Amino acid sequence: MPAEDPSRRDGTAGGSTLVSEARESIAARPYAEGEPILEVRGLVKHYPLTRGILFKKQIGAVKAVDGVDFDLAAGETLGIVGESGCGKSTVAKMLVHLEPPTGGVIRYKGEDVTKLSGRALKAVRRNIQMVFQDPYTSLNPRMTVGDIIGEPYEIHPEVAPKGSRRQKVQDLLDVVGLNPEYINRYPHQFSGGQRQRIGIARGLALNPEIIVADEPVSALDVSVQAQVVNLLDRLQGEFSLSFVFIAHDLSIVRHISDRVGVMYLGRIVEIGTDEEIYDHPTHPYTQALLSAVPVPDPTAREYRERIILHGDVPSPAAVPSGCRFRTRCWKAQERCELEVPLLAVPAVFRDTDTPARHDSACHFAEEKRVVPPEGTLETPEPQDAPKPPRAAPSPDAGPSPDTPSPDRREPGEEDR
């Protein structure tokens, strides 16, 4: 397996100017940080359920996405989490125009892109690129790395005229921490982490402003996941990218996201900053999800409240009336069956000034911290001696098992 050249990972190898045109043009962004670059309103994707072979008759619909709202600010990372089948990938596909929405609006810089076609749509598609989940199946095994990364230039030759493409691709390899000399190799000659770096380089080829990453590290070994997450983090800062980062692993999402949206059965049920969602969740589904996250700190683990949800997630073809979470919710009352809860700041928190004041689609929202904050607990002692307060973690104690390690390896060390 070829090793990466770590000295090249930040693109400044040997003081070379490999970080040239491609990088500069990606970085040249005329958009102010903090402005919403993407506004998603009432996004819906229903797949028809049909019966009959010759004369197909629609008998229902799989409500894969059923009214999703969120904003993405320029330069921001929005994490979207939720169990398998909740509609995360379908949202991602609609954002990059791989699937047409059944309804709703996707505004990119104020323009509803669901109404665009032809050249206008092509220009928008260039600016919103996707990184796929599985680096083993998403790269064509018969194409060289150079052809894979350079493929988008066939559709958008204006970004890289023919004569400059090889150099552009080599710059991109360098940017993602791969040796530019590997340009003629094939995907099977790379490890999983390296293949995902190739996928990321392809995502960057057209100098996009938004990257939609659909479970970009789920198929990788845990040790390699951290490296790829750190790479994405670095690229975002370097190129002022906005990210929609989709995953089911809450720890990884927290590590990379500024804000987090929690999806359940086709809808976002709670959305807020990472602190609001992880430390002050108010929706019972978020609380249940968080209560299942592995806790590295044994003391915190002891105090953690596990919430076991009963029953299965209902089928998206038969979504419950009212609140769609009510069939599994321990708080459900009659109102939950009759009234759809809106994704808004719950009335109970509207006049407060606490982190619980964020959007949550629950009639009976209340704050519940399922994992106690680190450093606030006392270590249980076997004897009756007074319990000393837990020492704050030493700054050089190294990352916790939940915290991905820095994107740094020794020469010769490889992704697996």
Which residues contact ligand ATP by CB under 6 A? 47, 62, 64, 82, 84-90, 248, 316
Indicate the residue among 206 and 269 with the shorter CB distance to ligand ATP.
Answer: 269
Indicate the residue among 22 and 213 with the shorter CB distance to ligand ATP.
Answer: 213
Find the shortest distance in angstroms from Cβ 123 to ligand ATP: 27
Find the shortest distance in angstroms from Cβ 62 to ligand ATP: 4
Q: How many CA atoms lie within 13 A of 375 on its CB side?
A: 4
Q: Are 288 and 81 in contact (CB under 8 A)?
A: no
Q: How far apart are CA 274 and CA 260, in angstroms?
A: 6
Exposed e or buried b per residue across 346-380, where buried means at least 16 C-beta atoms within 10 angstroms of its C-beta: beebeeeeebbbbbbbbbbbbbbbbbbeeeebeee
Q: How many CA atoms lie within 13 A of 130 on its CB side?
A: 20
Handedness of CA 185, 186, 192, 195 (dihedral sign): positive
Q: Are 143 and 134 in contact (CB under 8 A)?
A: no
Find the shortest distance in angstroms from Cβ 248 to ligand ATP: 6
DSSP 3-state of 265: coil
Indicate the residue among 17 and 84 with the shorter CB distance to ligand ATP.
Answer: 84
Find the shortest distance in angstroms from Cβ 81 to ligand ATP: 10
Find the shortest distance in angstroms from Cβ 58 to ligand ATP: 13
Indicate the residue among 100 and 395 with the shorter CB distance to ligand ATP.
Answer: 100
Catalogue the long-range contacts made by 397-406 (C-beta closer than 8 Å, 24 or more residues apart): 400/296, 400/297, 401/296, 402/251, 402/294, 402/296, 403/255, 404/225, 404/226, 404/227, 404/229, 404/230, 404/252, 404/255, 405/226, 405/227, 405/230, 406/230
Q: How far apart are CA 246 and CA 218, in angstroms?
A: 10
Find the shortest distance in angstroms from Cβ 414 to ligand ATP: 28
Indicate the residue among 23 and 93 with the shorter CB distance to ligand ATP.
Answer: 93
Find the shortest distance in angstroms from Cβ 246 to ligand ATP: 7
DSSP 3-state of 184: helix
Indicate the residue among 102 and 164 with the shorter CB distance to ligand ATP.
Answer: 102
Find the shortest distance in angstroms from Cβ 64 to ligand ATP: 3
Indicate the residue among 81 and 183 with the shorter CB distance to ligand ATP.
Answer: 81
Residue 393 CB neighbour total at 10 angstroms: 12
Indicate the residue among 248 and 331 with the shorter CB distance to ligand ATP.
Answer: 248
